[in-house]
Structure 1
Amino acid sequence: MKKNINNIEVVDKENRPIGTMPQAEVHRQSLRHRSVVILIYDSEGKLYLQKRNAAKKLYAGRWSISASGHVFAGESCESAALRQLEFELGIKSGHLQLIRKIQASSETGYEFITVYALEKTNTVPSPNPDAVESGYFYTDSELEWLIKEYRELLTPTLVFLHDENVLFVK
């Protein structure tokens, strides 16, 4: 299957491809599709959160998970994760740890989410200003405080993954 960066795969309820469409159209119709989330932890176990660029169409200026993106048509989830990690944060990594696969639902924006982690990195993220305004490493307790006091400044994906106990494994 030829990769087309303008299209993503529409999938059925079992996550099997049934066609390709432009991302905006898939979102407009609330069709099931795939995305990836990459969680970056420093040597102290703190999670990197990014502040989205103010020009982003969705959730501009809000704090979000380390990196994320859609899986393009014909692309593997791991390739998409590595692509997003390099594009958003300038990190080139050959090894990601699969953390969890989350079923598509209205809470996920009808996305089958594959969550990866880049753990105990000594690499300092270099945010792409076209996508990311800034970033910071947070402890579990600091994130708990942000969610309690400033939930409206966070993306729904960050809050959802927190509520699903995906971000910090205890």
Structure 2
Amino acid sequence: MDELVERVDEQDKVLDVVGRSAAVRHGWLHRVASIVCRDPEGRLLVHRRPDGVPRYPGQFNWMLGGAAGVGESYEAAAARELSEELGVRADPRLVFKFRCAGPYLLGVHEVVVTPPTRPDPGEIAWHTWLTEGELAEFVNHEAFIPDARAVFRRYQERQGLPR
């Protein structure tokens, strides 16, 4: 069964409830929550997606996340995704929201994660922790998800990080 999402307008007002695959296929705007995970030393989580997944198989990402369900806030979706993908319960903090080319409204959240973690092998094939400088170099890797690269650039600007 297709995951249901809220189709929204540019102001994030709900227009309709649709299947996520239809939203992607037709280019309908919908909500997605992402989570930037830092360890207590401030390093950022980077992971590789499993080879068998339909979206971005074997590619690298620096965020966790997924679509917000019907009636689910960005923050609740981020907390759910963090638990599902990394096995961590926490309350990620919304940092900023913007329209991605996806087409979706992306809520970017942050959370400090204290290991150990329990990554879901269906979502995360491999992971490590990188400094901001190391990640700034790694996002240029050809196997890095293009949307994730664009979000990293925007994150750097928002946080006042050097580029």
Q: TM-score, normalised by structure 2?
A: 0.90
Instruction: Show CA shifts across 1:5-42 (max 9, x none).
Output: 82000011211000011111100001101001111101
Aligned mates of 1:28, 1:69 — CA distance in 2: 16
The Cα of 1:128 is off from its aligned counterpart by 0.4
Instruction: Show CA shifts across 1:137-156 (max 9, x none).
Output: 111121122233x2x21112
SS in 2 for 1:18: strand
Q: Which runs of 5+ in 1 are unaligned?
A: none
Tell whether 2:111 aligns with 1:115: no
Aligned mates of 2:15, 2:158 — CA distance in 1: 34
Counterpart of 1:129 in structure 2 is 121
**1:5·1:73 contact (CA, 8 Å) conserved in 2?**
no
**1:53·1:132 contact (CA, 8 Å) conserved in 2?**
yes
Aligned mates of 1:67, 1:60 — CA distance in 2: 14
Tell whether 2:9 aligns with 1:9: no
Counterpart of 1:43 in structure 2 is 40
Aligned mates of 2:43, 2:64 — CA distance in 1: 15
Report the identity percentage. Answer: 23
Aligned mates of 1:20, 1:81 — CA distance in 2: 20
Counterpart of 2:155 in structure 1 is 165
Aligned length, in residue pairs: 160
**1:140·1:168 contact (CA, 8 Å) conserved in 2?**
no
Q: 1:64 aligns with which of 38, 61, 64?
A: 61
Cα 1:5–1:81 change in 2 (3 A) is farther
**1:38·1:66 contact (CA, 8 Å) conserved in 2?**
yes
Counterpart of 2:94 in structure 1 is 98
SS in 2 for 1:56: coil
The Cα of 1:158 is off from its aligned counterpart by 1.7
**2:88·2:117 contact (CA, 8 Å) conserved in 1?**
yes
Aligned mates of 2:87, 2:105 — CA distance in 1: 25
Q: Which amino acid aligns with 2:107?
A: T
Aligned mates of 1:136, 1:168 — CA distance in 2: 24
Q: Which runs of 5+ in 2 are unaligned?
A: none
CA RMSD of aligned residues (A): 1.9
Q: Which amino acid aligns with 2:12?
A: N
